[in-house]
Amino acid sequence: MADLVLTTYDWVPDMPRGFVRDLRIRWALEEAGLPYRVESTPFRAKTAAHFGHQPFGQVPWLMDGEISIFESGAILLHLARKSETLMPRDPAGEAETLQWTIAALNSIEMVSVPWWFLEVTGAPNPQMTEWLQSRLDHMEGVLTSREWLAAERFTVADLLMADVLRVERVRAFGRRPATEAYVARITERPAFKKVHADQMAHFAAAD
């Protein structure tokens, strides 16, 4: 099998540590038992090579032999094609996994990230809050009636949805016990704990 090389920043400030999106890729690699290594790209002085791999100057990106792939969702689905642990092979289970993986990005994170940005930059917006609340309330309805999002077992869709929802600030308003239990359950997984510690250690090593 070709080498899998994940690239993240060499260092980031304290606030995003534990949340930089290389974590969701490390997590999938660990769940799938795929060997990989992590390399660094400068955070402060972004190189032309960085933009060659990630046109927005962001992280992460993954090298799979000669293949270079960016966008955490695309990387997760690339890995899901290598491992049945991440996505079942039956067409119905695969379709469910795909739809919930995209929902995590395009129905939840698409709202939660701008909401969070307005909050932390001191420009909270009530309409944005209402929009996020509505998405979270619908997720609460879904999670009340099921343990997993797809295929009645853990898939990459749960990994990504839990990674999006584990940002505490995003869940800090409204009472959504099923969502709380879901995030707690998925982030209890040993693979999550390992990669969280790995990411913290990676950035701490550069302090």
Ligand X SMILES: N[C@@H](CCC(=O)N[C@@H](CS)C(=O)NCC(=O)O)C(=O)O
CB of 44 to ligand X, least distance (A): 11
Given 21, 82, 171, 185, the residue binding ligand X (CB under 6 A): 21
Cα dihedral angle (81, 62, 167, 138), rounded to 10 degrees? Answer: -30
Interface with ligand X, residue 20, by CB under 6 A: yes
Shortest-Cβ-distance residue relative to ligand X: 58
Q: Which is nearer to ligand X, 99 or 133 (CB)?
A: 99
Using the rule CB under 6 A, is 112 a contact of ligand X?
A: no
- Specify the amino acid at residue 3: D
Q: Is the peptide bond before 42 cis (omega within 30 degrees of 0)?
A: no
Q: State the Cα–Cα distance between residues 28 and 153, nearest whole angstrom.
A: 15
Residues 50-109 touching ligand X, rule: CB under 6 A, are 57-59, 71-73
The token duo for 141 is 């309805």
Strands (E) located in 71-194: none
- Smallest gap from residue 126 Cβ to ligand X (A): 25
Residues 6+ apart with CB under 8 A from 98: 77, 87, 157
Asked if 42 is part of the footprint of ligand X (rule: CB under 6 A), the reply reads no
The smaller minimum CB distance to ligand X, of residues 42 and 57, is found at 57
For residue 79, the tally of other CB atoms under 10 A from its CB is: 24
CB of 109 to ligand X, least distance (A): 8
Q: In the complex, which residues of this chain contact ligand X (CB under 6 A)?
A: 20-21, 57-59, 71-73
